Structure 1
């Protein structure tokens, strides 16, 4: 459930070119707060995909060696980020296996963001990066996914209902993403200061 300062209503907007800079600012802030606790910090979710319609909420994935909840809650708390308590924000199933995770909301009054903390190298962390890279690479799927989300938000604007309907559609999308990954030789690569993931394909 959203915190008191957040809305339960879903609004999907056209892609905004300021989203990458918003991520970079968040990533720098998080890295400074976590020091050596973060192995990777990546821009994920729909705002990380140029041209894709999305909720105006920056999704950040932080990869850590292990999920030390007490330590992470303390570090994020120092910069005002709030741990989301719902069960679905504490664990997720990827490839038939359950993985622990933590999700932190931005401070009240700050730019809307969700920080997803996952174990570095886990299948659930890979899932988020593959979703992003596939939709960056495949324009047809990107356009179709954006149109689907806009229609869904228009007809089912409640956040919880929206998420429940979108989840099985995401599984269908990711089946196509896995085929694309196998065909192209996609793998995760890294670049510069914030360790934002890059697309790498085999020749």
Structure 2
């Protein structure tokens, strides 16, 4: 992919700017989630507060899966299988993957405790 990714401070004008582009914003206290407008090409943009729990958990899972390729392959295969099986039912897809995600997070937490994991620099 040739599109550049850049990390910048949150700008409170983003929701309005994204709305002009036809994107929708879902906001939580430490996370902003942008989606495409209905009928447009699928786009997900997650903006998380630096150092927040909602930032660190995905980084922990990412780093754990990078350090454990067999688990990453297992997760990828399961997600592809469920995406095919539940192509028209997003809620069923999420329900199917939830137990494995929690199991991987338990493994990732144990791994983090074992090695003294801390979030590293951004990939962006």
Q: How far apart are 1:115 and its partner, in Å?
A: 0.8
- Kept in 2, the 8 Å contact 1:103–1:116? The answer is yes
Match in the other structure for 1:150: 80
**Is 1:76 paired with 2:6?**
no
Aligned partner of 1:186 among 95, 105, 117: 117
Partner deviation per Cα, 1:52-104 (whole Å, 9 max, x = no partner) = xxxxxxxxxxxx4xx84xx22024345x26124xxxx544xxxxxxx543210
User: How far apart, in 2, do the equivalents of 1:81 and 1:109 lie?
Assistant: 9
User: How far apart, in 2, do the equivalents of 1:81 and 1:139 lie?
Assistant: 38
Task: Summarize the alignment of residues 109-148 of structure 1 with structure 2, pairs less than 5 Å apart.
Answer: 109=40, 112-148=42-78
- Kept in 1, the 8 Å contact 2:24–2:36? The answer is no
Q: How far apart are 1:135 and its partner, in Å?
A: 0.9
Could you say which structure has the higher helix fraction? 2
**Is 1:27 paired with 2:5?**
yes
User: How far apart, in 1, do the equivalents of 2:54 and 2:17 lie?
Assistant: 23
- Kept in 2, the 8 Å contact 1:102–1:117? The answer is yes
User: How far apart, in 1, do the equivalents of 2:22 and 2:4 lie?
Assistant: 11
Structure 2: runs of 5+ lacking an equivalent: none
Q: Quickly say closer, same or farther: Cα 1:150–1:102, change in 2 above 3 A.
A: same
Equivalent pairs, count: 122
SS of 1:189 mapped into structure 2: coil
SS of 2:82 mapped into structure 1: helix
Match in the other structure for 1:176: 107
User: How far apart, in 2, do the equivalents of 1:196 and 1:139 lie?
Assistant: 18
